[in-house]
Structure 1
Amino acid sequence: MNELVWRERILEEREQKDEFFKLHPQSPLSFKDRQKFNRLQYYPPIFSYCYELPLYEHAQKSVLTIEDTQGNEREFLRWGEFRFSVDNIECVLQAYKSSPQEKRLFIPFRDATSGKETYGAGRYLDLEEDWHTSSRGEKWILDFIRAYNPWCAYSDQYACPFVDPENWLKLAIRAGEKNFSL
């Protein structure tokens, strides 16, 4: 992947998201907050937080029950895991699906920035099978620059799954969205 093209794409996506949050009626922000909203805060896009990795698919797709921010329980299939290193520290993140037919991998995670620089309950990554795989489809693109806050970070009207402790990283991932403030 060309770093310059990647950076331009990231910046364009961020502009589109800001416009959605400010103008769209389905924005997670209240009408009042949309009037004050300028833009979301992000870490600078650093290419080293973009990984091309194999998914180590689990032979048995066990069910994981996760509580959400409104006290409901949600079930996910533990689909596989990504193994990578950050600053020579080995990391593993579990990838989930809501059903076997789902084409998207859901990767909620917490890290050392959670509750300080980023949303306390963690951030999410969504990997679309046709968009986040390498040209031969053998590897996934795990791009932390696209880590986003769940909508419950913007309004308590939304229910968002908490991050299971198996996806709590001890190190800081300084990529993606930061804490929200108006």
Structure 2
Amino acid sequence: MKQVFLYLAAWCITLTAHAQDAYKDSIDHFIADYVAKHQVVTGAEKQYFRFFPADEHYRVIARFQKETKSDWFPVPTSNGKPKQYRIYGWLLFTLNGSQQKLAVYQSQFLLQREEYFDYLFLPFKDATNGKESYETGRYLDLKTTDIKNNTVVLDFNKAYNPYCAYVSTGYSCPIPPKENHLKIAINAGEKQFAREH
């Protein structure tokens, strides 16, 4: 009986290790594709991208709550020209042992474009901003179709910098609203670009 238990324990450990390796490989592939297709950082500049190591701890299941009062409101941007967004809903999840809450938004401009009808925008700040990560905050992209049974897989390993992290002019990057300022550190996703702009 003891041998069977040891065999099952070893088998479970092996499966877990394979799953972790597969997850890390998927994030490595995501990052490689992100860097290769980046529209602002090109050529030799790509060497300055930096990312936290893939960590499945930062892939969480969030409970989705639809926002009932979804009025449009101006979100400040890097160039001072606000953009119109509305809160589509709220994502509630546990990370680092504490309850967290983030708003997910719809863009009034993008909603008018057929290819973005299901696009959801998740800008956020956390305790790494201005240190390991870009000072103004980072972004995640979601779709309405990602919401299944009022839950969403939220993977901070896919968090990325706005274009304003690389160039100082030419882009109007939304600044994460106060409701999306997390007090915890999100040690996942894209780090501060390794060259000043």
Shorter-chain TM-score bucket reads 0.7 to 0.9
Give the conservation status (yes or no) of the 8 Å contact 1:18–1:39.
no
Report what 2:35 is aligned to. Answer: 18
Aligned twin of 2:6: none
Confirm or deny that 1:178 pairs with 2:191.
yes
Matching residue's letter, 1:106 = F
Shift in Å at residue 53 of structure 1? Answer: 2.1
TM-score, structure 1 normalization? 0.85
Which residue of structure 1 lines up, in the alignment, with residue 9 of structure 2?
A: none
3-state SS in 2 of match to 1:113: coil
Aligned: 1:6 with 2:23: yes
Is 2:151 the partner of 1:142?
A: no
Superposed, 1:97-116 pairs within 5 Å as 97-99=106-108, 102-116=117-131
User: Could you tell me whether the CA contact under 8 Å between 2:49 and 2:193 is conserved in 1?
Assistant: yes
SS of 2:47 mapped into structure 1? coil
- Higher helix proportion, which one? 2
8 Å CA contact 1:110–1:122 kept in 2: the answer is yes
> Residues of 2 paired with 1:9 and 1:54: CA distance?
24
Indicate the percent of aligned positions where both proteins have the same amino acid. 30
Distance 1:5 1:128, change over 3 A: farther
* Ranges in structure 2 where 5+ consecutive residues have no aligned partner: 1-18
Partner deviation per Cα, 1:100-130 (whole Å, 9 max, x = no partner): 6731221100000001110000000101234
Tell me the CA shift for residue 18 of structure 1. 2.1
Could you tell me how far 1:48 is from its partner in structure 2?
1.2
Distance 1:174 1:167 in 2: 16
Instruction: Verify: 1:89 aligned to 2:102, yes or no.
Output: no
The counterpart of 2:164, out of the listed 147, 152, 155, is 152
Taking the aligned partners of 1:125 and 1:160, their CA distance within structure 2 comes to: 13
Q: Distance in 2 between matches of 1:149 and 1:36?
A: 15
Greater Rg over alpha carbons, structure: 2
Q: CA RMSD in A?
A: 1.9
Q: How many residues align?
A: 169
TM-score computed with the length of structure 2 as normaliser: 0.79
**2:28 is aligned with 1:28:** no
